[in-house]
Amino acid sequence: MHHFRHGNRAVIWLNLLLLFFLTLLPFVTNLKGAFRYEFFVTLLFGGVQILIGVGLILIWNYAFSHPHLLKRKISEDIHRQVIWRMLISPIFISVLAVLTFLIDVHLSSLAFLSIPLYYLSFPIIDRHETESMKNE
């Protein structure tokens, strides 16, 4: 959201949709902790992670397609890199974790734990964006 200079009704609704998905996370995390060996709970946890990823992609694509709302235009290269980051995590990793549950429950949990680790592995994009925002 730090890219936006202005908002409109669509930005507000997309943000509320993302926030709704995020509010489900503590509930499904609690379920996952209590019923970690249940496939349906793992499926539900993965589903919420996927919805969060979809919400992030929706906001990012809206920002890219409406540059007049932004502080500065997002380059095609940065747009593509961020989309790939959001597709891989949480979406792809969550699908992989749910499918891994069918093989090994503990491996599935490790796959879910890799989601925040994956985001921490991208300081270059974040640093580049932060530095360019300071220069303006």
- pLDDT value at 132 more than 60: no
Is 1 within the bounds of a domain?
A: no
> What whole-number distance in Å separates Cα of residue 53 and Cα of residue 60?
11
pLDDT tens for 46-101 read: 999 999 999 999 999 999 999 999 888 888 998 998 899 899 989 999 999 999 99
Contact 37, 105 (CB under 8 A): yes
Q: Is the dihedral of CA 42, 45, 51, 52 positive or negative?
A: negative
Please, where are the H alpha helices in 1-136? 9-34, 39-65, 76-86, 93-101, 105-120, 123-134
Torsion angles phi and psi, residue 121, rounded to 5: -85, 5
CB atoms near residue 43 (< 10 Å): 13
Q: Which domain holds residue 88?
A: 9-134
Question: Mean pLDDT over residues 111-131, rounded?
Answer: 73
Total number of domains constituting the chain = 1
Q: Strand, helix or coil at 70? A: strand
Structure tokens at 81: 């890199």
Strand partners, 4: 70
pTM higher than 0.75: yes
Q: What percent of the chain has pLDDT over 90?
A: 68
Is 3 within the bounds of a domain?
A: no
Please tell me the predicted confidence (pLDDT) of residue 76. Answer: 93
pLDDT tens for 12-38 read: 999 999 999 999 999 999 999 999 999
Is 2 within the bounds of a domain?
A: no
Please tell me the predicted confidence (pLDDT) of residue 27. Answer: 97
Is 39 within the bounds of a domain?
A: yes
